[in-house]
Structure 1
Amino acid sequence: MTFTQFSGIVELRTKIVSLSTYIISLLYSIYVAGTVSPLLAVLVLTAALAVDMGTTGFNSYFDWYRNVDDPRFNRESAKVIIHEGVSPGSALLVSILCYVVACMLGGIIILMTGPLVLILGSLSLLVGFFYSGGSRPISSTPWGELFAGGFLGFVFFIINYYILTGRLDQPALLVAIPQSLAIAAILSVNNACDMVGDRAAGRRTMAIVLGVKGAQLLVYIEGLVGLLMLAFLAYRNILPQLSLYLTLPALILILTEYAKMHQRGYSHDTKGPNMQSISKIFILQSLVYIGGLLEAILFV
């Protein structure tokens, strides 16, 4: 297996999502607590990437197993199992090894913090596996966006915040929500474009439940509500004021990308450019978070 093929199995290009959540939660932890443990910060980052890669690897394997990634519909070159003949068994092995690494690092973190991390971490691993594994995977139900956004955004944010600060408080819970909505929007675009293939594979995603127009509307609602909530949190001084001022230029650019997506439509043929657009939107919202927090940490 080449590195490019490994990258395709674990979809390294998508790790910007978990990396963004990590950076935002790290900066927010420093903003609240003033300082954090560098060792714990590195351990959490490494464990989180291992969980993310393992989860994506399981998804690659089970999508092949259930013929979700049907070459008649799929146009993604990164799907190396169906387009390059990579052994499905190797994808499964990579995923298991990633989870083993995550468990080992998680054990160290638990010893340094407490049992709450064990509960939340174990739950994250189970959801990561059953997102695509099991007889009725979460990804094939209408709840895929909820679990993906909830765990890659909200739960990961809260776990990192708790590990680094030793706290669990209402402001942190609120700050985590826009990130969850932004991640859910990414999956909503993916599912809106995959409706034909997903329906053929017997899946019943939220996009299929809502229909073409409803699936598109869900994308726009998730993205815009998340950004507006960021502005509200900054207005209420839960986040730094700079985030409020960054919201307007970000909103203009985001609406431009949504207009492009709407004009293209949502299908297998437009999935590539639409995923690029929603990735830009995600990065813009992340920069609103990061810009405000960095300015407050460095200059206030």
Structure 2
Amino acid sequence: MLQSAVNHKEEVYYYRASWLQLFRPMTLTGTITPILVGTGLAALQGGFRVDVFLAMLMAALFIQSATNLFNDYYDFQHGQDHDKWIADASAARGPAHHTVPYLAITMICAAVIIGFWLAVQSTFWIIPAGIAGIIFGYLYSAGPRPLCSIGLGETVAFTFLGPVVTILSYIVQGYTLDFTIAFVSLPFAFMIASMILTNNIRDIEKDHTFRNTLATLLGRKHAVHLLITLLTLPYLTVLALVLAGVVPAASIIVLLALPAAGRLRWSFRKGASRPDELSGMKWAAWHHWAFGLLFALGVWL
């Protein structure tokens, strides 16, 4: 009944917040920082092309932004997040609900065009990788069984906003895939998975009635234990990379992000209040930004 009502009134609903918030800018670190580090590693090995770097960054941002748009669009269709949408156009600052997919498709088309240019400039392996990223980004939220509703949200993010984007930003600079860049990508895989898991732990009560996220499948206690593991592994990986001489010693600067990780963990302590849990996603985003930018700074220095 709710689904029918939403579909019937779909065209009169508008995004309550601004266009900028619709793109979820705090999550875009999942694309920006791995590309900075992948390109930085290329620079360490002999140089990089600024135009290729900027094109890779824009294409990846378009795909991630489109994924975010599809997520908000389909969440509303599935009866979720009604507080984000309002029927009064004069009180809204964002687009109409039914226009969101068109905007997302436009961004994907732009990413495809840039991707073809990158393929000509570097390697055609970017084409199948980009296509896979677009398909999984769409299936993350769309369809009768979205990937985020069957416990695969963290896995998809781990793969495409960890190894895939980091490795691609390296090989488009003219270098070949090797174990070095694969290991360098792992901290970002753990970090983005921790962001998705944080979101799912926060929404356990809301999600358990209609979808099975990894957090609902594990239960809050075990999901928090997994979150602690995902918050610890990026630091251990960077330490190992420094000791192995893969990244500069300056990369140890990532330890300055530990207070944000601690605050995120505190948000999900036993007996945490609901406002504390709601603040967890904010701290997950700040932690990813801090860790990623510090890691990039350590590599580029």
TM class by smaller structure = 0.7 to 0.9
1:221 is aligned to 2:229 = yes
Give CA-to-partner distance per residue, 1:198-222, whole Å, 9 cap, x none.
112x110000011010111111110
- Correspondence for 1:13 among 26, 29, 36: 26
Match of 1:285 in 2: 291
Does the residue aligned with 1:204 lie in a helix, a strand or coil? coil
Q: Which stretch of the first structure deviates more once superposed, 108-117 or 127-136?
A: 108-117
Say whether the 8 Å CA contact 2:191–2:231 is kept in structure 1.
Answer: yes
Give CA-to-partner distance per residue, 1:21-80, whole Å, 9 cap, x none.
221222122122x21111111111111111111111111111111113254xxxxxxx34
Partners of 1:211 and 1:266 in 2: how far apart? 17
Code of the aligned partner of 2:205: V
Code of the aligned partner of 2:26: R
Say whether the 8 Å CA contact 2:16–2:85 is kept in structure 1.
Answer: no
Percent of matched pairs sharing the same residue: 22
Taking structure 1 as the reference length, the TM-score comes to 0.86
The alpha-carbon deviation at position 163 of structure 1 amounts to 0.5
Q: Which stretch of the first structure deviates more once superposed, 4-13 or 111-120?
A: 4-13
Alignment of 1:1-300 (within 5 A): 5-32=18-45, 34-71=46-83, 79-80=84-85, 84=92, 86-200=95-209, 202-244=210-252, 246-251=253-258, 254-262=261-269, 265=272, 267=274, 269-295=275-301
Does the residue aligned with 2:125 lie in a helix, a strand or coil? helix
Q: 1:287–1:126: structure 2 CA closer, same or farther, 3 Å change rule?
A: same
Q: 1:61–1:177: structure 2 CA closer, same or farther, 3 Å change rule?
A: same
Say whether the 8 Å CA contact 1:57–1:95 is kept in structure 2.
Answer: yes
The alpha-carbon deviation at position 248 of structure 1 amounts to 4.5
Code of the aligned partner of 2:207: D
Partners of 2:286 and 2:148 in 1: how far apart? 23
Q: Which stretch of the first structure deviates more once superposed, 2-11 or 130-139?
A: 2-11
Does the residue aligned with 1:164 lie in a helix, a strand or coil? coil
The alpha-carbon deviation at position 234 of structure 1 amounts to 0.7
Q: 1:266–1:91: structure 2 CA closer, same or farther, 3 Å change rule?
A: farther
Superposition RMSD in Å:
2.4
Say whether the 8 Å CA contact 2:154–2:193 is kept in structure 1.
Answer: yes
Say whether the 8 Å CA contact 2:69–2:100 is kept in structure 1.
Answer: yes
Does the residue aligned with 2:269 lie in a helix, a strand or coil? helix
Code of the aligned partner of 1:289: F
Partners of 1:81 and 1:95 in 2: how far apart? 20
Does the residue aligned with 2:47 lie in a helix, a strand or coil? coil
The alpha-carbon deviation at position 187 of structure 1 amounts to 0.7
Say whether the 8 Å CA contact 1:142–1:205 is kept in structure 2.
Answer: yes
Q: Identify unmatched segments of 5+ residues in structure 2.
A: 1-13
The alpha-carbon deviation at position 103 of structure 1 amounts to 1.0
Q: 1:69–1:167: structure 2 CA closer, same or farther, 3 Å change rule?
A: same
Q: 1:136–1:257: structure 2 CA closer, same or farther, 3 Å change rule?
A: closer
Taking structure 2 as the reference length, the TM-score comes to 0.86
Q: 1:12–1:249: structure 2 CA closer, same or farther, 3 Å change rule?
A: closer
Say whether the 8 Å CA contact 2:33–2:292 is kept in structure 1.
Answer: yes
